[in-house]
Structure 1
C-alpha cells in the first residue's frame, strides 16, 4: 500500500480505526443486490430463487448476498428481477429520496445501479434523465435501464455541460455521483490501489468542481441534490462541498438522518451534515452530501417537446391487439415508435440514446416489436408462453424453440416473468432474443 495514502488515512481515522480499515482491505468485499420492485416484490423473488441473503441498512429493498456467484446470467437476473450492487452504493439514492412524480437527473450514471434504483422509487411516474459521458459505459447503462423495465427514462451520452444547457433549472432532484479517485473501491479492485496518487486526487477534484456546477444549473429552485463519491479524500468530499457552497450561496447542506455511516468532517458550510461510509460500517467506501436550493421565484426557460409523426396504422393495430394497457405518451420518428409515461422532452445539444421505451418500428407495412417492448414493466403482453427450464436455456442461447402454437408474437417467460420475445409460425417459436445478450 502507498505510504502516502497510509499516512493520509491515519490522519483521517486515527491509529486504531486506521488499523481496522487496513485489516478489512485484505478481506473479501461485501456483495449484495437490490430487488427490482418494478417487476417483483421481495417475498416473491425469494420464493422463486431461494437466495441466501441478509438485509442491509442502506435501502429498503437492498440485501447482502451470501455464497452465490454468476446470478446475473440466471433467468431471474436476465428477467431483471434484481440488480447486483455493492450494498452501501444504494445509500446515495436512499438519501436523495426521490418521490413519485418528480423529475430526477442522474448526471454521471453508468453502469446504472443508482438510476435503476431511482426508477424503482419513481414507479413509472415523473421522469428520469440518466446520463453518461463515456460512450461504451453509456451502452451498459442503456442495457441495464432496459432490463430494469422502467417506462419513463431518457438515456443520454453527453458532457454534463451539454445536459445543463439542455435542462436549465428543470429537475426536482439531482444525483451527482461524481467520478473520483476510488479509494472506497480498494477492497474489491486492485487497480484502485495501484492507480492512487495525490495527483489523481487533485485531478478528480478539479473535474468534480465542473460537474457540480453543471448539476447546480440543472436543479430547479427549491430542489434537492445529492453529491456523492466512493472515495475518502477530503479534497473530493467536504472541501469540494465547502467550495461549492461559497460559489452558490443559494445552496445549503441538509443534515442526514439515517441509521448507517458516520458524521462527515466539519468545514465551512456544515459539511459535517454529510455522511461517510467505511468498510467498518458494513459497506465499501462512500461520501454522501444532501443539499437544497433556496426556493426563489425565477424565470426558467422552457424545455420543448419532440414533435411526433403520425403513428403508423400497423403499429396502432399491433398495440391494440397485444398490449394490456396503452402507453400514456407515444412518439413516432421515421418509422420508429416509442412509448412512455412521461412527455417526450427534447434534449437539445445532447446525444440521445433512448427516450423511454423503444417499442419497435414499421418495416414494409408491418410492425416489428423490439426487445425493449417485452422487457418493459409497464403493463404486459397479451400473449405469453412459459418455457421449461431446459427451454429457457435454449432460448437465452438464441435457439429456436419447437412448440406448436397459434401464429403471432409472444412474450417468452420464465415462471411468469418475461425474458424477451418470439414469433410463432405455428410449428416453432422463432427466437427474437438480441444476439448481443445471448449466453455463450
Structure 2
C-alpha cells in the first residue's frame, strides 16, 4: 500500500519508536467482525447455531471476528436480523456509551446504522432513539438496518445537526457522534480512502467536526453523556476537537476510558497543546489491537446550566379507532407498546411515548411501522414482522436454515409449503428461519404467496 508521504511523516512523529510496528500492520489482512443482536438472540444461543468460524472480540461482549470465506451476509440469519456486520474497532463507541432503557438517545451521524442498532438494543424497546443522517439516501440504509434489528422505538431523521438543535434543545440523555472524518484509520480496510484523504484531509473535516460537536452539546440535557468518535489518527480531528469543545463549553468534562481495556492507548493532548484530562480518551491502534484505527472520547455535561427541554406531544390515536388492526392483533402477543398510534395515508405506526410533534422535521419513520389499511383490511409490514418474536404470532411457518425454500422466500418466490403443519389456511403466516422471523406470507392452496419486502429481496 502506497501511503501519502505527508501522512507517513506525521505518523512517525506521533508514534516515535512504535512507528515501524505501526507500518508493518499495513502488511496484514483486514479483519472482519459481526455483532450479535441481543434484542433477538442471546450471545450464548447464537454461538450454538452460528455456522461460522468465530473468535471473540475481547473488548466487545457480543462481538466476534469471522473468516472472510464465511460470508455471513449471505446467510438467512443475516436476513433475520440476528447480527450486524461491522469492523471490530467500530463497535467500540456504542459499546462504551452507557445507554439505559427509557432514555432519550441521539445518534447524530448514524448511517448506515452500525452504532444505532446497538444503541437501540440497549434501550430494550423503552425510551426513544433518534437516528439521524444528513444524507437522505444513506438514511434509507439506516432505516432498513433499524427495521431489520426489530427496534420499535426509533425516529429516523435526515437533517443537518443545526436543524435538530433548533427543534430539540437540551432534550437527550445520551448522544453519540461518529463524526465525518478523513478516514486515516480505514486505509488498510479500504485503500480507496487514500484518494479521498488527499482531496479532503484533516483540516477540512476538523472544521465540520467542531460545528457538529457544539451543536450536539446544545442538545444534551444537564448531567447527560456524549460520546465522540472518529476513524482517523489526525490529532486535529481527535484531541483537537475535544480540546475545542472543552474550551468553548466549560460545562463539559472528559470521563476517562483509556484504562478499560489493556489495548486501549491513551489519547495524546500534547499533540494539540490540550489539557491533561484529554488523556482519558482512547486511541485504538492497529498494531496494538486486532482492529482498524479509531478515536473515542466520552464526555459528561455538568448538572448546572440550561434546563432540560421538553417537547409538545404529537397527536396520537388509540387502537379502537382502527378496528381492522385491532382484529388482526387479537391473537398476537406483541410485547410492544401500542398505546399511541399514528395514521398517515392509511399507514399505521406505533409511537414511542417520548415522541414529540415533528412538524418541520424531515423524517423517514416514526416509531414502528405496523402496516397499512387496505379496503377495510389490515396488511402487516415487514418492520412489524421483524419486531415480533416467534411465540408472539399464532400462525408460523418455520424452516431450517439449510432448506432451499428459505432462499426462495428471500428471493420473493412463491414457495410450496404442503406437508408443513399449517394452523390457518388462507391466513397471514409469519415465515421464520429456525424460529426467527423473516417476514410475511399468505397461504393459498398449499402455496405461500410471498409478502417479503420487495426492496429487501435477495438478487441471487
Fold match, TM over 0.5? yes
- Per-residue CA deviations over 1:91-142 (Å, capped at 9, x if unaligned) read 1122212122221110000111111111122211222111011111111111
Which of 429, 441, 445 matches 1:410?
429
Residue number in structure 2 paired with 1:265: 268
Residue number in structure 2 paired with 1:369: 380
Output aligned runs, 1:68-147, within 5 Å.
68-147=69-148
The separation in 1 between residues aligned to 2:386 and 2:309, in whole angstroms, is: 35
Structure 2, unpaired ranges of 5+: none
Cα separation, partners in 2 of 1:341 and 1:303, compared to 1, 3 Å? closer
Cα separation, partners in 2 of 1:315 and 1:300, compared to 1, 3 Å? same
Identify the range of structure 1 (228-237 vs 361-370) with the bigger mean alpha-carbon deviation.
Answer: 361-370
1:303 aligns with 2:307: no
Contact 2:173 2:220 in 1 (8 A): yes
Identify the range of structure 1 (342-351 vs 246-255) with the bigger mean alpha-carbon deviation.
Answer: 342-351
Output aligned runs, 1:353-432, within 5 Å.
353-377=364-388, 380-388=392-400, 389-404=403-418, 405=422, 406-432=425-451
The separation in 2 between residues aligned to 1:325 and 1:102, in whole angstroms, is: 19
Identify the range of structure 1 (97-106 vs 42-51) with the bigger mean alpha-carbon deviation.
Answer: 42-51
The separation in 2 between residues aligned to 1:17 and 1:198, in whole angstroms, is: 28
Output aligned runs, 1:154-193, within 5 Å.
154-193=155-194
Residue number in structure 2 paired with 1:53: 54
The count of residues paired between Structure 1 and Structure 2 equals 439
Contact 1:162 1:349 in 2 (8 A): no
Per the TM alignment, residue 437 of structure 1 is displaced from its structure 2 partner at its CA by 1.2
Output aligned runs, 1:272-283, within 5 Å.
272-280=279-287, 281-283=289-291
Per the TM alignment, residue 52 of structure 1 is displaced from its structure 2 partner at its CA by 1.3
- Per-residue CA deviations over 1:313-354 (Å, capped at 9, x if unaligned) read 111111123444453433122322112554432334321111
Cα separation, partners in 2 of 1:424 and 1:344, compared to 1, 3 Å? farther
The separation in 1 between residues aligned to 2:305 and 2:191, in whole angstroms, is: 49
Contact 1:150 1:377 in 2 (8 A): no
Identify the range of structure 1 (380-389 vs 89-98) with the bigger mean alpha-carbon deviation.
Answer: 380-389
Cα separation, partners in 2 of 1:204 and 1:156, compared to 1, 3 Å? same
Identify the range of structure 1 (311-320 vs 357-366) with the bigger mean alpha-carbon deviation.
Answer: 311-320
The separation in 2 between residues aligned to 1:437 and 1:399, in whole angstroms, is: 13
The separation in 2 between residues aligned to 1:58 and 1:337, in whole angstroms, is: 40
The separation in 1 between residues aligned to 2:405 and 2:177, in whole angstroms, is: 43
The separation in 2 between residues aligned to 1:169 and 1:147, in whole angstroms, is: 30
Residue number in structure 2 paired with 1:327: 337
Cα separation, partners in 2 of 1:283 and 1:326, compared to 1, 3 Å? closer
TM-score under structure 1 length normalisation: 0.95
- Per-residue CA deviations over 1:124-168 (Å, capped at 9, x if unaligned) read 122211101111111111111000111111111111111111211
TM-score under structure 2 length normalisation: 0.91
Residue number in structure 1 paired with 2:7: 5
- Per-residue CA deviations over 1:378-428 (Å, capped at 9, x if unaligned) read 783221111351110110110111235412111101110111111113432
Residue number in structure 2 paired with 1:293: 301
Identify the range of structure 1 (122-131 vs 29-38) with the bigger mean alpha-carbon deviation.
Answer: 122-131
Contact 2:222 2:307 in 1 (8 A): no
Contact 2:388 2:437 in 1 (8 A): no
Secondary structure of 2:331's match? helix
Secondary structure of 1:282's match? coil
Identify the range of structure 1 (53-62 vs 76-85) with the bigger mean alpha-carbon deviation.
Answer: 53-62
Residue number in structure 1 paired with 2:358: 347
Contact 2:170 2:218 in 1 (8 A): yes
The separation in 1 between residues aligned to 2:339 and 2:10, in whole angstroms, is: 53
The separation in 1 between residues aligned to 2:352 and 2:149, in whole angstroms, is: 15
Contact 2:52 2:72 in 1 (8 A): no
Contact 1:39 1:377 in 2 (8 A): no
Structure 1, unpaired ranges of 5+: none
Contact 2:177 2:229 in 1 (8 A): yes
